[in-house]
Amino acid sequence: MTNVTGSISRARMSDVAQAAGVSLVTVSRAVNSPNKLAAETLAVVRAAIERLGYVPNLTAGSLASSRSRIVAAVVPTISNPVFSETIESLTQTLAESGHQLLLGQSAYSAAQEAALVETFLGRRVDGLVLTGCNQSASLIARLKRAGLPVVQTWDLPDTASALIDMAVGFSNRDAGRLAARHLIGRGFRSLGFIGAEEERSRRRLDGFKSEAAKLGVRTVAAELIRPPAQMDQVGARLQQLVARQPDLDGVFCNNDLLATAVLFECHRMRRPVPKSLAVLGFGDQSVARAAAPQLSTIRIRRAEMGERAGQMLLTRLSGQMPEAQRIDLGFEIVLREST
Amino acid sequence: MTNVTGSISRARMSDVAQAAGVSLVTVSRAVNSPNKLAAETLAVVRAAIERLGYVPNLTAGSLASSRSRIVAAVVPTISNPVFSETIESLTQTLAESGHQLLLGQSAYSAAQEAALVETFLGRRVDGLVLTGCNQSASLIARLKRAGLPVVQTWDLPDTASALIDMAVGFSNRDAGRLAARHLIGRGFRSLGFIGAEEERSRRRLDGFKSEAAKLGVRTVAAELIRPPAQMDQVGARLQQLVARQPDLDGVFCNNDLLATAVLFECHRMRRPVPKSLAVLGFGDQSVARAAAPQLSTIRIRRAEMGERAGQMLLTRLSGQMPEAQRIDLGFEIVLREST
DNA sequence: GTGAAAGCGCTAACAC
DNA sequence: GTGTTAGCGCTTTCAC
């Protein structure tokens, strides 16, 4: 029965060994490398395990073998569906080879990220997945020294020194550039931007502005929402944008949910999309196809990002080197109705 | 530098002890209970720790103390934002007392849930958070025997035997009943239901149907979408509903994102909401306020659920009993424009 | 194919 | 306040 201390006596490996009439190592092998045992022995041991309800203590195993079969990941927040999809596919990829995920949320704070990494190192995790490439120089140095496999995701390091170990992502700046080319190419000249106030969003804004300028469009108003950027804050921001730039005719939103909120606000303002105002999303989430009008957006490979990150880690954990240390997953415009 | 094996030599506690000229325990105390040490000693030890770049091995600590400071949670998927918010607040609550979260995703499969629980027990996690209350009898028995603190969330057990240890949630069936009362009370008589094909959604449908019948409304058509229920599948389902029940005038959607997709489809069908079709959401996610028309919905306390689950666990881990073993967080109708 | 010995790096209990 | 002793429950050699 449940008790307050939360612990009951459990069978240990030595108990199983005794019950089965074999040595400790044999039980260990029955659990970890059954093919190294004679079929009969294996059967006897398994019966004993079953009978005693033995559950191997993975903590003790980790200590002895110095492999934890745990991978840690740090994301700003999983409430943003954009990150949760990457985490989901990462979890699944890792699960296939018996690894589990320890999850940390940094709330977009570098200090919290560093603190999380520190305890993850203390837990001797087998690998680490980070979000973004804007880690501090000291954290980068720390991780390089630690020597464990690390994958940076959701962006690509600009310089060789920003690459800790491995990376899988895409250039956020180039994605912003593509957004500007797309909107301007379709005839919209007075542009706005709505996004979260965080690193990757800012990089996209950078690219968006610089490409717009290059194409002769200098009026780009931006509204940055402090994370978590919720949909119900978007209406007011769009109003701001229009107030600042009355001839606004195109908005780039930093995820499809924000873009959807803009769609609704346009509906309220009786401004037909895209005739009166074009809306470009980001991410190609499922809402983009469901929306009316359907959202044009920039597709990125969120699930693939998690999967590739997991594979790179697993490759390294098996002692090999992955084919590429830096994978650019790219992105593409999906033209629908809103632009 | 990074190496393929992923490990470099690291300082151990005994190295620090030697460097600081103290014993092992003193270093352990400097790390875990600094207030038990003389200020001078502490300073010396800390200097040594700093100098050697010592990172305590938490795995060894866990083994010795049999407390892992890890709590595991199983959710169907974190891609559903509805679960990720609970996980987020749980993570934060746990972090405040130095616990971390090991995350498992069951993909709505009972077998996967049981397998995850098994390895979590093997890791000797300090506590467990589960989604829903429909665990198999054998899993329930297993966990009761294991004797570790367990919190079931997102529903409330119907019977005493379905309660493993602690629970925080609400009655999904009653929430469905409330939805029916609300729609019928506002004059809608031909009802439909769109939700995911999973346990909690089904319970809401149960309640929805039975209350509707009680109030004299027998025509309730339901469309269940196999998880993950994506927004872009909703349009076709609404069409189905209308085909089956041409006079349909009210739809209850099992989360606000699905409801939003219905809103868009209504727009396409040129059926004004709520005049031609009423739409009731579930969850009160931020999209509900952003939508046009704004969504009426049933508010539940997702974040509070994670927080309370964390607190209950922490209370038990500190050796106390929580005030209540079973917390009903309830729910409420939020009347906006769509009904 | 199986076993014996020697740790993994820390904490708990008790002494001083 | 600080130190000594004795494990925590496994895996890893290496021997047979």
> pLDDT at residue B191 above 80?
yes
Q: Which nucleotide is nearest to A17 (CA to C1')?
A: C3
Nearest to A152 by CA among A161, A160, A163: A163
Nearest to A281 by CA among A149, A185, A216, A193: A193
> pLDDT at residue B3 above 60?
no
The pLDDT of residue A103 is 94
Tell me which chain B residues have a C-beta less than 8 angstroms from the C-beta of A68. 59
CA distance A308 to B158: 43
> What are the residues whose beta carbons fall under 8 Å from the beta carbon of A324, sequence distance 6 or more?
none
Rg from Cα positions in chain A:
25
Q: In what order do the strands lie in the sheet with B250-253?
A: B220-225, B191-196, B250-253, B278-280
Answer yes or no: do B103 and A103 touch at CB < 8 A: yes
**pLDDT tens figures, B85-116:** 999 999 999 999 999 999 999 999 999 999 99
Q: pTM of the entire structure?
A: 0.93
Q: Is B31 touching A (CB cutoff 8 A)?
A: no
CA distance B124 to B168: 23
Nearest to A103 among B91, B127, B287 (CB): B91
Report the footprint of strand D: residues with C-beta closer than 7 angstroms.
A 10, 12-14, 24-25, 28, 31-32, 54, 56-57, 60-61, 63-65, 67; B 22-26, 29, 36-38, 40-42, 60, 63-64, 66
Nearest to A169 by CA among A305, A284, A285: A305
Q: What are the Cα distances from residue B190, in Å, to A235, B193, B256?
A: 33, 11, 20
> pLDDT at residue B53 above 50?
yes
Written as tens digits, the pLDDT of chain A (339 aa) is: 333 333 445 899 999 999 999 999 999 999 999 999 999 999 999 999 999 999 999 999 999 999 999 999 999 999 998 999 999 999 999 999 999 999 999 999 999 999 999 999 999 999 999 999 999 999 999 999 999 999 999 999 999 999 999 999 999 999 999 999 999 999 999 999 999 999 999 999 999 999 999 999 988 999 999 999 999 999 999 999 999 999 999 999 999 999 999 999 999 999 999 999 999 999 999 999 999 999 999 999 999 999 999 999 999 999 899 999 999 999 999 999 999
Residue A275, judged by CB atoms within 10 A of its CB (0-12, 13-18, 19+), counts as exposed
Mean pLDDT of all residues in B11-22: 95
8 Å CB contact between B144 and B165: yes
Q: Is B94 touching A (CB cutoff 8 A)?
A: no
Q: Is B1 touching A (CB cutoff 8 A)?
A: yes
> pLDDT at residue B18 above 60?
yes
CA distance B161 to A151: 45
The pLDDT of residue B10 is 80
**Token pair 């069908």 in the structure block, residue:** B269
Please report the sign of the dihedral spanned by the C-alpha atoms of residue A88, residue A89, residue A95, residue A100: negative
Helix or strand (DSSP H, E) at A51 = helix A39-52
CA distance A206 to A252: 12
The pLDDT of residue B219 is 87
Report which residue type is found at B318: S
State the nearest Cα–Cα gap between B14 and chain A, in angstroms.
16
Q: Using the C1' atom of nucleotide D8, identify the protein residue whose alpha carbon is closest.
A: B64
> pLDDT at residue B154 above 90?
yes
How does residue B9 score in pLDDT terms, banded at 50, 70 and 90? Answer: low
Nearest to A6 among B88, B100, B147 (CB): B147
The pLDDT of residue A10 is 80
Q: Is A292 touching B (CB cutoff 8 A)?
A: yes
Pairing of strands A127-131, B127-131: unpaired
CA distance A164 to A129: 11
**Token pair 């499809």 in the structure block, residue:** A256
Please report the sign of the dihedral spanned by the C-alpha atoms of residue A293, residue A296, residue A301, residue A306: negative
B55 CA, C9 C1': Å apart: 11
Nearest to A57 among B55, B124, B321 (CB): B124
Structure tokens at A80: 């943003």
Cβ of A47: how many Cβ atoms within 10 Å? 13
Answer yes or no: do A286 and B231 touch at CB < 8 A: yes
Nearest to B322 by CA among B108, B74, B127, B118: B127
Mean pLDDT of all residues in B316-325: 92
Tell me which chain A residues have a C-beta less than 8 angstroms from the C-beta of B6. 126-127, 147-149, 316-317
Report phi then psi at A6, rounded to 5.
75, 20
Q: Is A297 touching B (CB cutoff 8 A)?
A: no
**pLDDT tens figures, B252-294:** 999 999 999 999 999 999 999 999 999 999 999 999 999 999 9
Measured CA angle at B164 (ends B160, B169), to 5 deg: 80
CA distance A263 to A273: 7
8 Å CB contact between B207 and B177: yes
Query: A136 by DSSP, 3-state: which?
Result: coil
Measured CA angle at A22 (ends A21, A27), to 5 deg: 125
CA distance A13 to A21: 12
CA distance B105 to B131: 10
For strand D, give the nucleotides within 7 A of a protein CB.
Answer: 1-5, 7-13
HEC per residue, A100-128: EEEEEECCCCHHHHHHHHHHHHHCCCCEE
* Residue percentage of chain B with pLDDT more than 70: 97
8 Å CB contact between B161 and B188: no
- Scan residues 249-268 of A and list those with Cβ closer than 8 Å to B: 257, 260-261, 264-265, 267-268
Mean pLDDT of all residues in B168-173: 98
Q: Which nucleotide is nearest to A29 (CA to C1')?
A: D11
8 Å CB contact between A106 and A112: yes
> pLDDT at residue B1 above 50?
no
Q: DSSP per residue over B96-136, as a string?
A: TTT-EEEEEE-TT-HHHHHHHHHHHHHTT-SEEEEESS---
> What are the residues whose beta carbons fall under 8 Å from the beta carbon of B292, sequence distance 6 or more?
A264, A265, A267, A268, B263
Structure tokens at A219: 């009026």
